[in-house]
Structure formats: C-alpha cells, structure tokens
Structure 1
Amino acid sequence: MAERAVKAVGPRLPIRTQIGFAMGSFVTGPFGTVPGLVLLQYLTDTMAIPAAIAGVIVVVPKAWDVLFNPVAGRLSDGHFARTGSRLPYMLLGGIGVAVTFAALFAHPDFGGRTWLDAGYVVLVFFLCATAFAFFQVPYNALPAELTDDYAQRTRLTSWRIAFLALAILASGGGVPLITDAVEGVAGYRIMGVVVGVIIVSAAIAVFFILRRAPVSALRQPTPRWRELLAVLKSWRPFRWLLGIYFVQSLGVSTLLAGVPYMARDGLDASGLRTPLFAGFVGPALVVMPLCVVLSDRLGKVAGLRIFTVVFGIAMLGLLGSPVLPLAVVFFFVALAGIGYAGMQVFPLAILPDLIAAEEERTGNTTAGVAAGVWTAADTLGLALGPGLFGVIIQIGGYVPSLDGSAIQPDSAVTAIFVGFALVPAILVLTALPLARRKLLDLRA
C-alpha cells in the first residue's frame, strides 16, 4: 500500500521533515534562477542570436508546461491516492532535470549554423521543463498534506524560502564566478555540470528524508477532467492568488534576466554581477523570522501586501542607479531582496490553506492539480520575464555578439534600466489590488 505511514498530522512538524521539504529548493532554485539569469545572455553573447529571437527561445519550451503541468498534477494525485506518496515522481523528475540541465549548456557546436544551435537549446530546454514538472508539481502539493495547521504552514514555507535563498545564492551567485573564471563555451559547460550535480543531490536527499514522513488522510482524486475544470472555475480564491503569483513571478524574472546586462552595461562593471545577485537574494535569509511574526500578528495577506510595496519602492529607487552612489544602489537592491522574500513566502503559505479548505469541502484530492496549475503559471512567468526583457533591449537597439564585447548604444542602456527596474516595479505593484484579505486569508 503506502510507502509512508498515513495519519492525521498535528500542528508541529519535526525539524527533520521541515528541512527535508526545504531541501527541494535546491532543485527548484537553480532551475528557476539560472536559465533566467544567464540563458538569454548565453544565447546572445556566445551564439550571436538576436535578443528578440533569444527571448522567444527562452519562452517557448516553458510555455509547454502551461499545458503539461496540470497533467503532471493529475498523475501525481492518482499516484498519491494509490500509494500515499508523491516522492517517486519527484525523484525521477529531479534526476531528469539534472541531466537535461547539464545538456542545455553543453553547446555541441553545429559549425556556426545559428538555427541548429537555437533548435538544440529549444529541444533540450523542452525536455528539462517537462522533467521539472514531475518534481515541482508534487513538491508544491506537499505542504497541504504534511500539516493541517495554519501557522505551521507559514513556518514550513519559511524554511523552504530560506533554503531557496541559499540555493539561489549558491547557483545564481556561483554561476558568474564559473563563467568568468573559465571564459567562453567551456565555462558554461562546466557550470551546467556543477548545477546538475546540485540538483540531483537535492532530489535524492528529499526522497530519503521525507519517505517516512506522515501525511494527512488519503482522498480519491476528482474522477474526470470536466469536474476538475469545474472546480477550478468556481474556486475564486485560488484564481486570485494564482493571478498575484503569476504577475509577481513575471516581474521578478524580468529583473533577474537584467542582472548581467545591468552590471556590465548599466553600471559598467561586469564584476558586480555576483555582488548584485547576492545583495538581492541574501536578505531572504534574515527576513524569514519576520515573515512568521507578521503572519501570526497581521495575517498572511497583510504580510504579502507589505512586502509587495517594499519591493515596488526599491525597484523605483533603482531607476536612479546611473546617478546614485554605489552604496545607495546596493541599499535598494537589498530592499528589493527583502520584498522578494516576502512575496515568495506568503503566496506559498496561503496556497496549502486554500487547497486544504477545498479538499475538505469537496472530499476529493485536488492538491496535485492545483499545484500543477500553480506551477504552470509560475513557470510561464519565469519564462516570459527573460523574453520580455529580450524584447525591451531589442527595441532599445541592443547589439548581440559572439563574445559579449559589443559596445552598446545609449538607447540600449536605457532599455536595460527600463527592463531591470521600471517594468518589474509596475508588474509587481499591479498585483496589489488582487491581494484581498476576505478572499485569501482563511483565518480572517
């Protein structure tokens, strides 16, 4: 029957379970961050692919996940109902992500034929995104099944985001160090292998740590797709939360795509890529306790609104980067990182509350399908960000090259600032009206 003991879960989870769950961030963090951070530049500055076309290449494979992730969620729900575990899907998905991620940056070299280079990246990224769905979708469904306590879900998510910050720092911060130390295609190849090792190690750790963790009572999956679609159509709080997370993921991924361009062309200092990235992600490590306190005192929706405003203010401040002292630029980067941390914690803490309430109402397992739709929106947002940034700098007249040495016109530098700071600020603040407490905060 089940691979894990199935029983009602109390409000307190063992630290081992919380850490085991959080380890999954070393799969989701590198996949969600590194392609958005370097893939666009990898295409424009090692393959000489025009920025707009490179942006499309980054978007198309992940757009597939919009259709496939709900299917992966449906399969995950069925396996969970039969065995009491989603972990086998996560293990196989994690291994698949690791292998295809390394292949993504292998650059087999088709003799300078750009269309073959581009086709290879599209195909491998397509496979990588598909493998990721089998990890990420059941991973997002787990919190609703590991605990039924409102506050404990915030703590569980806080562990996850703290580990996510570490994963992003290790992968996103380390990637420029590798590609700078070993220049050209060889640096990207080494980077792909290193990140692949991190991903597969994390997937194995999650499987073995959580395989004995208890889960909540098993329910049968909703029997037919038509009924599932009816549930999602009538599930208004989920749609509102999904809209918030999608728009904010789009804004953050646009910012991340602009980091290397901002460092090299905006601030005229390529060596600042890693410090900028670390300054953005690092604050998440110290913000987690604050998120827990705000959740307990004000509620999760209020916390989400506060951190959204903080992020928006920081991004508007970064528009002044050309004339601001470097110390002030890093202050705004760190402030944006604080906002980003809260924008990650609170939607992911609200999601299992909504799932648990809906499953209690219907008596069916919908966690996997809900997580599939959620992951599809998240993946699309992460993919569209680099694509959007690519279009913006293409309009600005960005000049692609084989070695990243092209001198950029003033219009391209202006476009980099617009894509890096103004567009993310507008997108993230647009989500504020959707964060309505009466719809999303079940404790209210």
Structure 2
Amino acid sequence: MSKHDLSNSKPLSRNLMILYGLPHLTHAIVILPLALFIPSFYADELGLPMASVGLAIAASRFLDILIDPIVGVMSDKMRTRWGRRKPWLAVGTPLLIVCAWMVFVPGKDVSITYLFVWSSLLYLAYTFVDLPYKAWGAELSTDYAERSRVTAWREAFGFFGQMLFLAILIVMTIKGVTDVRLQLMAIAILIVVIQPLLVMATLWKVPEREPEILATVDLQPVANEAIFKKTWQALRVMAQNQAFLRTLAAVVLFGTAVLMQATLHRFVLNHVVKAPDLFAPMIMAENFISILCLPVWIWVSDKLGKHRAISLCALWIALWSVFLPLVGEGDTVLYVALILLRGSSLASIFFLSSSIGADVVDFDTVASGRQRTGLYFSIWGVASKLAIGLGVLLGTSLPSLFGFDPTQAIHTSSSITALLAIYGWVPCVIMLFGVPFLWNFPIDKQLQQALRHKISAGGIAEDLNDIGK
C-alpha cells in the first residue's frame, strides 16, 4: 500500500492526483458509447425500434437506482486492511469488462430484451466501480480549492479516454473499416486490455484517508430495534441539508439536457447535416476544447465560487444550444462551430459538481457526526442515472412521437423540424431551469472552511441553521 501522507496540512502532490485519476480514462470509454453510440447502433444498424431502444436503456438505468444506496452504505461501513473503497474497484472491474463486451459486441440475433438485460448488468457493474471510486476521491482532500483539482484531474482523464475512443474510430475509418460492429469490438478489446492495468496502478499507489467520526458520536453497537430510528435520523439530516437537495435538482436537470443532446448527435449528423463521417472527429474536437478550457473554469471557480462557475457553464451550453435548430444539410462548418462552443464547458460541469459534492458531505459530517461519503455519492449516483435515463428516453421518444424514424430514407420537413427543436431548444430550457438551484448556493469557500474547522474540533452542530441552508 502507498505511503503517501494524507495529513490535512499537506497539499496533495500532482503525481498522486494523476494516479487517482487514471482509471477514469477507461471508465469514460465504457460510458461514452452508451450515450453516443449504442442507441443509434441498435436502432440504425441492428434495426431495433428507436423508441424501444431508448426505453430499454432508460429502464436499465432506473432499475439500477435501487442498488446505489445499498452500495453507498456498504462502502461507508466496510472495514478491510485495504480500505473501504479499494475492494469495490478490485471486484467490480472484471464484472464491468464482461458486461461491456456483451453490450458492445452483441451476437447476430439481438433483441430489446438482450439490450435491456446486459445494459442493466453493465450499469450495475459500473455502480460497483464508479460510486466508491468517486467517494474515495471526495475524501482525498479536505481543502475547498484542492478538491476541484482532484476532480479536474479525474474528469480530464475521462475526457482523454473519450478522445482515445474517438481517435480509434477515426483511424479505423481512414483505413476503410467503417463497419460499426468492428469499431465497437475494437473499443471492447481496448477496455479488456487497458482497464485492469490502470486500476491496479491506482489501487497500489493511491492511499485512502481514514473515515472521519466526530468524538461526540456514540460508537456503541446499535440494537436491532434501534436501526429504524438511526435510519430515520440519517434521512432527517439529509432532508434538512438544503444544499444537498439543491445539488440533486441541478444534477438531474443539467444531466438530462446534456444526455438528450448526446443521444441525438449521430441522428442529426446522419439525417440532417448529412455528414456521418464527421461524428468521431467532431466529438473528439469537442472533448479537446473542453479539456483545454478546464483551467479557465477552475479560475472562474476560484474567483466566483464553484456554484457560480457551474451555473455559468450551464448558461454557456444553453446559449449555443439555441442556435442548433438553425443547421441544415451541408452546414458542417456552422454545426461544428456550435458544438465546439457549446462543449467548451462540458468537462467543467462534471468536475465542479463532484467537487461541490465533497463540500456537501462536510455539512452532513458536522450535522451527523459521521462521514457518509458513500451514501451521499450513491444518492448523487441515483440522480445521475435518473438524468441519463431521462436524457436517453426523451432524446429517442420525443422525435419518434413527432414522426421521426431513423430507418426511413426520406423524412418529412415537420419531423426534421421537431428533431432539431428537441435537440437544441428543449435541452436549453431544461438547463435554464437548473441554474437557480445553484446560483445562490449556500456552501461557498468561507462556509466550507468553517465546516472543516468544526470537523477538526470534533463537535456536532446543535442547530443546522448554524452551518447554513
């Protein structure tokens, strides 16, 4: 196990943050195709009904929602010689690899049931890996600004993973390999080879911080009849944590909007702009711009606070989404320019949201006396999965409702108009609804430092009003 010092007074080294972020490179390679590739692959290439594909993927996410809090609580309570979070990554990684292979490399005869079962198992395996991994990252640092850098490194690796995925598609296309089945098989092979190596490096080199339990908490075993009382107390504290509830609302709204557009990228390129070969290089360029702009949004976060920075990221996406319905056949320059402008804040939304999540856990630690990062991140996981499910469901069902059918060679003008409006304007409105939840967010740098002081002092707040709503 690593001997790195995780004392509160010593900043994390860049190497440690890099080593922590490594596994997210392949995590992103698993997740990106599920939004950008799988819906159109199963609908366009395999001939399954578009609305049914969206429903199957959305349903697989909703079923997984029931598992997240269980994994979160078990992760918080686990005590092993290797830590609380690491065993989950060690066990979950092989399961994730197998399930990704089954989704990306289906047999010749597939059905909606096949897609539903294996995507459900894939999301379940991803929960085993991703939830403890992000809880681990939230606990690496106790500093307001440094937490943003930890999550920035993780999300940067995620976006590099997406770029690697897209680079493989581009190279294969240049070499004349345009069969989507072969492209997805190449991605699956990459996951099988690289993911175990990156996870092992992180497990070996990155330590875990000991769980924080305040001195005034009763650590005696709880009798069976008191379990419901303790559970109710935990739920009451979470319900009083207004910052947590506001974060949940923002995560669902922002995630739904982003995933709606991600689901529809290929459909718009294939059937409106009529430039299907542009997909991989366009998304790769978007990821590159998003990573390039990370330092800008970190600077904004340092100046205005994470909550204002996320709000501005969302408004930036909403602004350029307004113009997406203006594109038509052959408008490749306009379309790519809009996607790049829109995408320059995507990575920042994800890393800043995770950083705020760590601050909200500090609130709960002061209020309850226990560090329940896994439980909180499991609820955020539920919100994220709800957002992904809603985004894919709305992105596939709404165009179908208005007559758009990707299997048809010719489309009516009304169905194309509806597709573009759903692609651009609906996500824009959803983004705008999410901004008020974070603009005046209560936990800023000053309050987070006050929370850390209370945790260091080992005292539980007598009144939640003392630490903000």
TM-score (norm 1): 0.89
- Partner of residue 429 from structure 2, selected from 411, 420, 426: 426
1:298 correspondence with 2:304: yes
d(CA) in 2 for partners of 1:343 and 1:197?
30
Q: SS where residue 274 of structure 2 aligns?
A: coil
**In the TM superposition, what is the alpha-carbon distance from 1:396 to its structure 2 partner?**
3.0
d(CA) in 2 for partners of 1:43 and 1:6?
48
How do 1:33-44 and structure 2 match up within 5 A?
33-44=32-43
In structure 2, relative to structure 1, the CA distance for the partners of 1:357 and 1:284 (3 Å cut) is same
Aligned to 2:118: 124
In structure 2, relative to structure 1, the CA distance for the partners of 1:271 and 1:78 (3 Å cut) is same
Aligned to 1:261: 267
1:159 correspondence with 2:153: yes
Aligned to 1:24: 23
d(CA) in 2 for partners of 1:125 and 1:432?
31
In structure 2, relative to structure 1, the CA distance for the partners of 1:176 and 1:65 (3 Å cut) is farther
d(CA) in 2 for partners of 1:48 and 1:325?
28
**In the TM superposition, what is the alpha-carbon distance from 1:410 to its structure 2 partner?**
2.8
Tell me, yes or no, if the aligned pair for 1:257 and 1:386 is still in contact at 8 Å.
yes
Aligned to 2:291: 285
Given residue 369 of structure 1, which amino acid in structure 2 is its aligned partner? L
Q: SS where residue 282 of structure 1 aligns?
A: helix
Aligned to 2:67: 68
Q: SS where residue 162 of structure 2 aligns?
A: helix
1:414 correspondence with 2:417: yes
Note the residue ranges of structure 2 that are not aligned, 5 or more in a row: 214-218, 448-469
**In the TM superposition, what is the alpha-carbon distance from 1:41 to its structure 2 partner?**
0.9
Tell me, yes or no, if the aligned pair for 2:271 and 2:406 is still in contact at 8 Å.
no
**In the TM superposition, what is the alpha-carbon distance from 1:85 to its structure 2 partner?**
3.3
Tell me, yes or no, if the aligned pair for 1:279 and 1:337 is still in contact at 8 Å.
no
**In the TM superposition, what is the alpha-carbon distance from 1:166 to its structure 2 partner?**
0.8
How do 1:32-431 and structure 2 match up within 5 A?
32-80=31-79, 84-110=83-109, 117-172=111-166, 174-175=168-169, 178=172, 181-183=177-179, 185-210=181-206, 213-219=207-213, 224-322=230-328, 326-401=332-407, 406-431=409-434
Tell me, yes or no, if the aligned pair for 1:9 and 1:215 is still in contact at 8 Å.
no
Tell me, yes or no, if the aligned pair for 2:25 and 2:159 is still in contact at 8 Å.
no
Given residue 99 of structure 1, which amino acid in structure 2 is its aligned partner? V
**In the TM superposition, what is the alpha-carbon distance from 1:35 to its structure 2 partner?**
0.6
- Count matched residues: 433
d(CA) in 2 for partners of 1:89 and 1:357?
26
Given residue 424 of structure 2, which amino acid in structure 1 is its aligned partner? A
Q: SS where residue 365 of structure 1 aligns?
A: coil
Deviates more, 1:89-98 or 1:67-76: 89-98
Deviates more, 1:73-82 or 1:222-231: 222-231
In structure 2, relative to structure 1, the CA distance for the partners of 1:333 and 1:120 (3 Å cut) is same
d(CA) in 1 for partners of 2:280 and 2:70?
37
d(CA) in 2 for partners of 1:61 and 1:193?
24
In structure 2, relative to structure 1, the CA distance for the partners of 1:278 and 1:354 (3 Å cut) is same
Given residue 350 of structure 1, which amino acid in structure 2 is its aligned partner? I
In structure 2, relative to structure 1, the CA distance for the partners of 1:82 and 1:363 (3 Å cut) is farther
Aligned to 2:216: none
Given residue 193 of structure 1, which amino acid in structure 2 is its aligned partner? I
d(CA) in 2 for partners of 1:11 and 1:400?
55
d(CA) in 1 for partners of 2:344 and 2:194?
25
Tell me, yes or no, if the aligned pair for 1:144 and 1:356 is still in contact at 8 Å.
no
**In the TM superposition, what is the alpha-carbon distance from 1:214 to its structure 2 partner?**
4.7
**In the TM superposition, what is the alpha-carbon distance from 1:323 to its structure 2 partner?**
8.0
Deviates more, 1:68-77 or 1:422-431: 422-431
TM-score (norm 2): 0.85
d(CA) in 1 for partners of 2:380 and 2:166?
23
Given residue 292 of structure 2, which amino acid in structure 1 is its aligned partner? V
Q: SS where residue 398 of structure 1 aligns?
A: coil
Given residue 239 of structure 1, which amino acid in structure 2 is its aligned partner? L
Given residue 88 of structure 1, which amino acid in structure 2 is its aligned partner? P
Tell me, yes or no, if the aligned pair for 1:279 and 1:333 is still in contact at 8 Å.
no
d(CA) in 2 for partners of 1:198 and 1:421?
36
Tell me, yes or no, if the aligned pair for 1:246 and 1:381 is still in contact at 8 Å.
yes
In structure 2, relative to structure 1, the CA distance for the partners of 1:170 and 1:420 (3 Å cut) is farther
Render the CA deviation track for 1:384-426: whole Å, top value 9, x for unaligned. Answer: 212211112212323354xxx7333333322331232222211
d(CA) in 2 for partners of 1:59 and 1:4?
43
Q: Cα RMSD over matched residues?
A: 2.7
**In the TM superposition, what is the alpha-carbon distance from 1:276 to its structure 2 partner?**
2.2
Note the residue ranges of structure 1 that are not aligned, 5 or more in a row: 111-115
Render the CA deviation track for 1:338-397: whole Å, top value 9, x for unaligned. Answer: 122322222111110111232133221210000111111112212221221111221232
d(CA) in 2 for partners of 1:293 and 1:312?
21
**In the TM superposition, what is the alpha-carbon distance from 1:286 to its structure 2 partner?**
1.2
Tell me, yes or no, if the aligned pair for 1:10 and 1:147 is still in contact at 8 Å.
no
Given residue 179 of structure 2, which amino acid in structure 1 is its aligned partner? E
Q: SS where residue 48 of structure 1 aligns?
A: coil
Given residue 429 of structure 1, which amino acid in structure 2 is its aligned partner? L
d(CA) in 2 for partners of 1:117 and 1:214?
43
d(CA) in 2 for partners of 1:197 and 1:376?
29
d(CA) in 1 for partners of 2:367 and 2:433?
31
Given residue 160 of structure 1, which amino acid in structure 2 is its aligned partner? R
d(CA) in 2 for partners of 1:436 and 1:305?
6
Given residue 408 of structure 1, which amino acid in structure 2 is its aligned partner? H
Render the CA deviation track for 1:221-257: whole Å, top value 9, x for unaligned. Answer: 9965433322322221011011111111111111111
Among the aligned pairs, what percent are the same residue?
20
In structure 2, relative to structure 1, the CA distance for the partners of 1:105 and 1:158 (3 Å cut) is closer
Deviates more, 1:174-183 or 1:55-64: 174-183
**In the TM superposition, what is the alpha-carbon distance from 1:3 to its structure 2 partner?**
8.8
**In the TM superposition, what is the alpha-carbon distance from 1:336 to its structure 2 partner?**
0.9
Given residue 327 of structure 1, which amino acid in structure 2 is its aligned partner? V
d(CA) in 2 for partners of 1:399 and 1:91?
43
Tell me, yes or no, if the aligned pair for 1:97 and 1:199 is still in contact at 8 Å.
no
Q: SS where residue 8 of structure 2 aligns?
A: coil
